[in-house]
């Protein structure tokens, strides 16, 4: 939850240690869904860090300058200690937690302190959504979760993964939710390149999902850029949309990847890497020892040349770099920030 003291502490840390503002923590490798574009459910693991170790890891992320954390998985709400983890993280970070819409209504108290709850939902078409999620009733549960969380005053948003399966619906989907003052932020379908060393496998290759109509993707980006001028519930920056549009039309990147520089990921066992498709570089507990070492700088330079994925979160944190990047996000999202803070004040 955003309080004046938290905003002040975030601003001080941003000025003191401009750098790796964003971390994504895959808290668990367990999931109760069977999404067709995802590997997690086919390769589950019941091992995960203890509550105390997660908290210790959060302290370390705070020390290296992380300001914003996203908890995903698997489904992080499957952890019994998720309330304690979210309470702890929310004191120091802008905190987002993902749910596929199946658990949040049973964890309302655990979710009250987070800044955002992201419900993943891909389409307004109930049958299609359930097909994509591999679970009957997924659409109905997600829609219900959005309503319940909102009525409870919890900041909830929807997060569709844009793929060929829903590409032509994304604008109507965005209108539907933003007209109801529900923020929308996006993922972009992609899959992990073959590797034996990756930290955490997520994207599964699926021909149905792969975006073939790149011109339509560019048009979606253009339309969202236009809509954003008036619509404060679209949580993606113009710069990110322009980068995706350019990639769709030319196959070329306007950005260099900033894995390990602007962002990092942590897996369910506490292993840290630049992104989930790269190999682990350290345990979270050893991170302070190596974080500023020459080999890490070498890796950062190496990753800048990498073009192996188009996960939208990694693009977002690559196009916005350092303190100027943070200000750019703030400026771009200023109307959204104001709307968010106003909603936070509401009784
Ligand atoms: S996409 Fe998310 S909800 Fe779906 S199977 Fe993968 S981890 Fe579970
Ligand atoms: S482009 Fe960046 S985020 Fe994607 S695989 Fe390469 S290093 Fe990882």
Question: How is the beta sheet containing 68-72 ordered, strand by strand?
Answer: 156-159, 116-120, 94-99, 68-72, 22-26, 263-266, 271-273, 282-283
CA distances from 57 to 109, 267, 280 (A): 23, 11, 15
Report the SS3 class of residue 259. Answer: strand
pLDDT at 347: 53
Phi, psi of 82 (to 5 degrees): -60, -35
Span from the CA of 277 to the centroid of ligand 2 (angstroms): 7
Ligand 2 atom, smallest distance to 276 CA: 8
pTM, two decimal places: 0.94
CB atoms within 10 A of CB 181: 11
Q: At 65, is the secondary structure helix, strand, or coil?
A: coil
Which ligand 2 atom sits closest to the C-alpha of 257? 2
In order, the DSSP letters of 288-326 are HHHTTSHHHHHHHHHHHT--S---HHHHHHHHS-HHHHH
- Over the chain (347 residues), the average pLDDT of each successive run of 10 is 81 78 95 92 92 98 93 96 97 95 97 96 97 97 98 96 97 98 94 82 87 98 96 94 97 96 96 94 95 94 94 94 80 80 70
Predicted confidence at residue 61, as pLDDT, reads 95
As a whole number of angstroms, the distance between CA 38 and CA 135 comes to 13
- Dihedrals phi, psi of 78, to nearest 5 degrees: -75, -15
Q: What is the pLDDT of residue 229?
A: 93
pLDDT at position 338? 79
94 touches 3 (CB < 8 A)? no
As for ligand 2, residues whose beta carbon falls within 6 Å of it are 257, 259, 274-275, 277-278, 303, 306-309, 314
Q: Which of 187, 242, 194 is nearest to 24 (CA)?
A: 187
For residues 2 and 116, give the distance between their C-alpha atoms in angstroms, rounded to a whole number: 10
> What is the DSSP code string of 91-153?
HHSEEEEEE-SSSGGG-HHHHTT-SEEEEE---S-HHHHHHHHTSTTHHHHHHHHHHHHHHTT
Pocket flag, ligand 1, residue 103 (CB < 6 Å): no
219, two tokens: 């048009």
Return the closest-CA partner of residue 325 out of 270, 255, 222. Answer: 255
Q: Is 73 in the pocket of ligand 1 (CB under 6 A)?
A: yes
């Amino acid at each position: 939850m955003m309080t004046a003291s938290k905003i002040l502490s975030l601003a001080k840390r941003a000025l003191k240690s401009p750098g790796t503002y964003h971390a994504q923590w895959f808290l668990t490798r367990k999931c109760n869904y069977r999404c067709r574009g995802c590997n997690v459910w086919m390769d589950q693991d019941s091992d995960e860090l203890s509550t105390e170790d997660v908290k210790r890891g959060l302290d370390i992320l705070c020390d290296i300058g992380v300001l914003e954390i996203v908890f995903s998985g698997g489904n992080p709400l499957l952890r019994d200690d998720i309330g304690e983890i979210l309470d702890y993280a929310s004191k120091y970070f802008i905190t987002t937690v993902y749910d596929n819409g199946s658990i949040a209504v049973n964890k309302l108290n655990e979710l009250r302190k987070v800044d955002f709850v992201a419900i993943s939902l891909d389409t307004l078409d109930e049958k299609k959504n359930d097909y994509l999620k591999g679970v009957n009733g997924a659409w109905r549960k997600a829609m219900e979760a959005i309503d319940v969380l909102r009525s409870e005053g919890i900041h909830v948003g929807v997060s569709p993964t844009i793929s060929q399966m829903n590409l032509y619906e994304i604008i109507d989907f965005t209108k539907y939710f933003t007209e109801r003052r529900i923020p929308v932020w996006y993922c972009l379908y992609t899959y992990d390149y073959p590797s034996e060393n990756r930290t955490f496998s997520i994207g599964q290759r699926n021909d149905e999902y792969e975006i073939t109509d790149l011109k339509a993707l560019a048009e979606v980006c253009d339309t969202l850029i236009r809509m954003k001028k008036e619509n404060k519930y679209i949580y993606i920056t113009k710069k990110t949309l322009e980068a995706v549009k350019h990639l769709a039309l030319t196959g070329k990147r306007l950005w260099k990847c900033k894995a390990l520089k602007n962002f990092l990921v942590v897996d369910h066992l506490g292993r840290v890497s630049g992104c989930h498709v790269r190999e682990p570089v350290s345990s979270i507990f050893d991170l302070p020892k190596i974080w500023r070492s020459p080999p890490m700088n070498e890796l950062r330079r190496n990753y800048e040349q990498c073009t192996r994925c188009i996960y939208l979160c990694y693009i977002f944190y690559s196009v916005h770099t350092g303190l100027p990047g943070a200000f750019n996000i703030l400026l771009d999202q200023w109307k959204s920030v104001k709307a968010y803070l106003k909603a936070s004040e509401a009784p």
